[in-house]
Structures are given as structure tokens and as C-alpha cells.
Structure 1
Amino acid sequence: MKKNIFKALAKVNKVLLPSFTKKQLDIAKAKKWQLAIIGWRAYVTMNALD
């Protein structure tokens, strides 16, 4: 059940949150809010995968 929630959340993230890899954002120059979004997306993705 937990995995299904994270899979749904990952789909919502994909639609709502910006993709910084497509924008070729340099992590060293990223602002705090950008790092927070990157961290959140990584957390959700890791929990959604097997």
C-alpha cells in the first residue's frame, strides 16, 4: 500500500514540479528551494521503486 502511494505521488510530482535536469541546472549553483525539490523528488522516486 505504501508503494502505491509513492507511485501516485511520483506521477503528481512529474506533472507539477519542474525538471531541473531538462534545464541543465548545475547542482553547485542551485538555490535552497531547488535543492529541496531535487531532494523531495529523489525521496519519492526511491520509495516508489522496487
Structure 2
Amino acid sequence: MKKSIFKLLAKLNKTLLPSFTKKELDITKASKIQLAVIGWRAYVTINSLD
């Protein structure tokens, strides 16, 4: 159950949230909100793969 929720969230992240790697964002110059989005995407991805 938990894994399926994270898989759904991962699909939503892919469609709704911006991809900073495609924009070649420099992490050292990222704003707090951009860092939060990166962290959220990483958290969801890690939990969907378990």
C-alpha cells in the first residue's frame, strides 16, 4: 500500500514539478524552495523504489 502511494506521487512529481537537471541548475545558487523541491523529489523516489 505505502509503496503504491509513493509510485503515484513519483508520477505526479514528474508531471507537475520542474526538473532542475534539465535546466542545469547550480545547486549552490538554488533558492530554499528549489532545494525543498529537490529534497521532496528525492524522498519520494527513494521510497517508491524500496
TM-score by length of 1: 0.97
Question: How many matched pairs?
Answer: 50
Aligned to 1:27: 27
Aligned to 1:18: 18
Over the aligned positions, Cα root-mean-square deviation in angstroms equals 0.5
Q: List structure 1 segments (4+ residues) > 6 angstroms apart after TM superposition.
A: none
Report the CA distance between 1:23 and its aligned residue.
0.2
Deviations 1:22-44 (A, max 9, x none): 00000000000000000000000
Percent same amino acid at aligned positions? 78
2:26 counterpart of 1:41: no
TM-score by length of 2: 0.97
Gaps of 5+ in 2: none
Deviations 1:8-29 (A, max 9, x none): 0000000000000000000000
